[in-house]
Amino acid sequence: MRFRTLLAGIALSAFTLTAQAGNEVEGIIESVDAANRTLTVQGITFEVTDRTDYDDGLHRFEDLREGQRVEVDFEYRDGRHIATEIELED
């Protein structure tokens, strides 16, 4: 019985780590909507907040341009993709 409990705990831990690691998307910015403060990468619309961090040459939302290759780290909350960090990719 203890062995099964241990295996279940390991499986749950692996699933949790995988889910957290999967919250990033890399790709080309397909569109930027300044009025709604969103950007679209790989067909996913990401909302930007005042808490979004920018890195690798980006400093603010206004630095984002269509055609840039970026990595977007995000949280999925209430059916929305909230960008937590956006950085330029080479």
CATH number at residue 48: 2.40.50.320
**% of the chain residues with pLDDT over 90:** 73
**Is the CB of residue 70 less than 8 Å from the CB of residue 86?**
yes
Rg (CA), the chain: 17
Q: How long is the chain?
A: 90
For residues 16-24, give the mean pLDDT.
54
Separation between Cα atoms, residue 48 and residue 38, nearest integer Å = 6
Tokens at 84, concatenated: 């937590």
Q: Is residue 42 part of a domain?
A: yes
Decide if pLDDT at 36 tops 90.
Answer: yes
Number of domains making up the chain: 1
At which residue do the structure tokens 């709604």 appear?
A: 36
Q: Does some domain include residue 62?
A: yes
Euclidean distance between the first and final Cα of the chain, in Å? 50
Residue 12 lies in a domain: no
66 inside domain: yes
Domain that residue 72 falls in: 24-88
In a domain, 39, yes or no: yes
